[in-house]
Each structure stands twice: as structure tokens, then as C-alpha cells.
Amino acid sequence: MSIEIRDLCFGYCTREVLRKVSFSALEGQILAVLGPNGVGKTTLFRCILGLQSRYSGSIEVDGVDAHTLTARELAHRVAYIPQTHGMAFSYSVLDMVLMGTTHNVAMMSVPKARELDAANTALVRMGIANLSEKNFSHLSGGEQQLVLIARALAQNTKTLLMDEPTASLDYGNQSLVLQQVRALADDGYTILLSTHNPQHAIWYADSVLALFNGTVAAFGQSREVVNTALIRTLYGVDATLIETTHGPLISPVIEGDNNR
């Protein structure tokens, strides 16, 4: 069990953001975190990543209390894949991926052959070795996301945290990225990802954590948990579930459908 969270509570001043959140993420599985905007998905991730430390309850990473780990020690265990974003200075793809190895590099040193190997392996694994010399900021959103995943692989951790990996990607790139993520889970990585698309959770995730009003609305196998009632609770919209040979398809109920 790589991530185990018990009774996590967190509040900013007066407002409680997370209340008694408990769940666990298993090795080789994708756990999708669902919930409307502002429900505390980001806060949850920030707590796990050690960016927010004033929470109560416990977060265990590989059986160790995350509170007791330094930033460097935590970086040995958990890699974070942010959404693509603009940067003050842009680097080559290889340099970006090399940065993932920083926790293995002494403070007063630079990455050596071993780190370069790890970076190149990660690039090959994501199928973007040809981009290695390109400038990161000149890549498409999908390519940038793959580079950030490659950076996390170069970090050589067992657990990956992804903040809405498909946000701001086009339809084709969404599938491309999610298929790569699925392949990583099948290779034994533990993956936590937040998403706004319940369909992605059904297709790609093994289990689902649904957050609503700071508490766990549902937690379990994705095909059992995601249903029309949950969609109604989380997002306030009516949906229908259509069983197909590729698993269930979710479609929102479109009013006045017959008139078109």
C-alpha cells in the first residue's frame, strides 16, 4: 500500500476544506479523484506533497508518516505532475526531465551520467526521445504533459500524483496521455489523478475517490462507484449510463433532445 490516508482534516482559518477524509491507493492502480471545482482536490494533493503541513489526521507514504519526511525524502517517494504552465525561463526537454533527478543530486553538484541515463530512459519510455533537444515552451500542450510525466519517471518514485493531466488538452491528446498513464499503472506505479471527466475515471481508473463538500462522497471500484446518483450529487446534473461492450458510457441528459 503506497498511500494511506486516515481522518485527514484541513481548514483555512474559518473554512474547513477537508473533513475526515480517509482512503488508500494501491500499487499498480489508478485512483481518480472526482469532485466539483473548489471541493478540495488540490488541497488534498498539496497535503500529500507536503506543501500544506497544518492538517490533522495521518498521511502515510510507503508506510512512513509524511509529516516526518523532508522535501528531499518525500521526493524519493512521490512525484508530482503539475498541469502545464508558462515559465519565466524555458529549458530544453532534456533539461526539464533531468530536473526530476534533482533529489538524487547532492546540493553542490550537477546531474551526472547516471541521472542522464535515467532522463533518457524516461524520454524513451514516454516515446518522446525525438523531442529531447527541443525547447519545452515551443511544444504542444500534449507534448508538454508527456515531458512532465517523463520528468516524474526520471524522479524514480513508485507513486505519481497528477493534477488534472487532461485539462487543456485536445481530444486526441487526452487519450494519448491517459493511455500512457494506464500503461504506467500496469507497470506497477501507484497513480493518483484528479479529473473533471467521470468518463475518464470509468475508462482508465481502477478506483474512484469522490469528494463533495470536503468529505468523501464515495470511494471504491470505479465501475461500482460512478453512477447517475453520484453524478447528480457531485455536479448537480442528470446523466444516463449506457452499457456498451467497452464498459459504461456516461451521457448528460440533454433537455429538449427531441426537438433537434
Partner 1 sequence: MGIILLVVFLLSFSIGRYGVPVSEVIRIFISRVFPMKQTWTAEMATVVLNIRLPRIVMACLVGCALSAAGASYQGVFQNPMASPDILGASSGAAFGAALAILLGGSMRIITLAAFASSLVTVMAVYLIAQRAPGLRVVNLILAGIMVGSLFTAGTSYIKLVADPTNQLPAITYWMMGSLSGSKLKQVVFVIVPIALGLIPLILIRWQVNILTLGDEEARTLGVNTSRLRLVVILCATLITAASVSVSGMIGWVGLVIPHLCRKLVGNNYRYLLPASMIAGAIFLLIVDNVSRNLLAVEIPIGILTAFIGAPFFIYLIAKREKTL
Site of interaction with partner 1 (CB under 8 A): 46, 49-51, 70-76, 78-80, 82, 86-92, 95, 99-100, 102-103, 105, 107-111, 155
Q: How far is the CB of 237 from partner 1 (least distance, A)?
A: 32
Q: How far is the CB of 157 from partner 1 (least distance, A)?
A: 10
* CA-based max dimension of the chain: 69
Q: Which is nearer to partner 1, 10 or 203 (CB)?
A: 10
SS3 163: coil
Q: Which is nearer to partner 1, 96 or 231 (CB)?
A: 96
Q: How far is the CB of 99 from partner 1 (least distance, A)?
A: 6
Q: Which is nearer to partner 1, 1 or 71 (CB)?
A: 71
Q: How far is the CB of 16 from partner 1 (least distance, A)?
A: 22
Angstrom distance (rounded) from CA 141 to CA 165: 10
Q: How far is the CB of 238 from partner 1 (least distance, A)?
A: 37
Q: Which is nearer to partner 1, 155 or 222 (CB)?
A: 155
Q: Which is nearer to partner 1, 120 or 233 (CB)?
A: 120
Q: What is the DSSP letter of 168?
A: T
* Residue carrying the nine cell digits 534533482: 102
Angle at Cα 42 formed by Cα 190 and Cα 66, nearest 5°?
Answer: 55
The string of DSSP codes covering 53-107 is: ---EEEEEETTEEGGG--HHHHHHHEEEEPPP---SS--BHHHHHHGGGGGGS-T
